[in-house]
């Protein structure tokens, strides 16, 4: 990743190498590895809009669970929804 740094005298280009512990801002979320997703996380990982996801939950096409105030989507439910499988 190249970062452009402006100084008083000139523009300097620096290369930033992220460590394994620090995700980059431009890293694409994926369904791999995650056990569950927030609505926003699933929207980013699937490239679907939040409104569409909430509509699918309301219509029963996408299964989700509430934990306190937080709504999550389990990975297996997210994958089934994206494959177009009917919810049991």
Distance between CA atoms of residues 39 and 41, nearest Å: 5
User: Domain limits at 60?
Assistant: 31-88
The pLDDT, as a whole number, for residue 32 is: 73
Widest pairwise Cα distance in the chain: 64
Q: What would the DSSP string read from start to end of the chain?
A: -EEEEE-SS-EEEEE----TTS--TTPPP-SSS-SEEEHHHHHHHHT--HHHHHHHHHHTSS--EEETTEEEEEHHHHHHHHHTPPP-
Q: What is the pLDDT of residues 24-71, one digit of tens each?
A: 455 556 667 789 999 999 999 999 999 999 999 999 999 999 999 999
Classify residue 11: in a domain, yes or no. Answer: no
The domain that holds 35 is classified in CATH as 1.10.1660
Classify residue 17: in a domain, yes or no. Answer: no
Classify residue 43: in a domain, yes or no. Answer: yes
The pLDDT, as a whole number, for residue 15 is: 53
Number of domains the chain is built from? 1
Q: Which two tokens stand for residue 48?
A: 């679907």
* Global model pTM greater than 0.75: no
């Amino acid at each position: 990743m190249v970062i452009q740094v402006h100084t008083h005298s000139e523009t300097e280009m620096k290369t930033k190498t992220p460590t394994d512990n620090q995700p980059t801002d431009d890293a694409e979320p994926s369904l791999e590895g995650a056990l569950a997703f927030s609505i926003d996380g699933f929207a980013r990982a699937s490239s679907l809009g939040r409104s569409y996801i909430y509509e699918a939950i309301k219509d029963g096409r996408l299964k989700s669970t509430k934990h306190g105030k937080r709504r999550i989507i389990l990975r297996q439910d997210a994958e089934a929804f994206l494959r177009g499988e009917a919810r049991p």
